[in-house]
Amino acid sequence: MTNSLPRSDRLAQRLALAFPALMLGGAYISEYGFGLFPCEMCWWQRWPHFAALGLALLSLIASPKNIWPKRVLIALAAGGVLTSGLIGAFHAGVEYGWWEGITGCTGSDYNSFDVVRCDVAPWTLFGISLAGFNALLSIGGAVTIWTLLAAREKEIGEPVS
């Protein structure tokens, strides 16, 4: 084994670092720059991105003598990105009225005026809410990272399992 990651693994690692950082950056810009404060389910979508970013950072400092721990950390980071996307898909479904959400921040039966409602999209573009964009982008990002990791296996002739 060589000390450096193959090209497709390096790209997967960079994407695993950049993607959650950009998604979190966008969330904080929308919050502090545009006043789109997060509801409880919005926070649920942020936590997996934080975890993905941490796992991707760990992949940078993992032992260079063996690339498998790096690849596992990159794959786990992609899992965090996917988790955020799946939560985003659930949240978007609540916003679009496809199913019920959690009772703490939906409907008219909440007690605090400080609660940000989870069932109302505060912003949309082409009919897609922020949660919907997170779902689309995060699921696509995770699949892309895993595809790049699988491409590395094909490059060196290892079986893809």
Segment 23-47, tens digit of pLDDT: 999 999 999 998 888 888 889 999 9
Number of domains in the chain: 1
Residue 11 falls inside a structural domain: no
Q: Please list, residue by residue across 13-39, b when 16 or more beta carbons sit within 10 angstroms of its beta carbon and e when fewer do.
A: bebbbebbeebbeebeebeeeeebebb
Averaged pLDDT score across all residues of the chain: 84
Residue 74's domain comprises 17-99+117-155
Q: What is the pLDDT of residue 57?
A: 95
Residue 109 falls inside a structural domain: no
124-137: average pLDDT: 87
- Grade residue 141 by pLDDT with cuts at 50, 70 and 90: very high
* H or E segment to which residue 9 belongs: helix 7-32
**pTM score over 0.75:** yes
Least confident piece of the model among 44-48, 57-61, 96-100: 96-100
Residue 108 falls inside a structural domain: no
Residue 38 falls inside a structural domain: yes
Residue 106 falls inside a structural domain: no
Residue 131 falls inside a structural domain: yes
Residue 74 falls inside a structural domain: yes
Q: Is the pLDDT confidence value at 156 over 60?
A: no
Residue 5 falls inside a structural domain: no
Q: Is the pLDDT confidence value at 161 over 50?
A: no
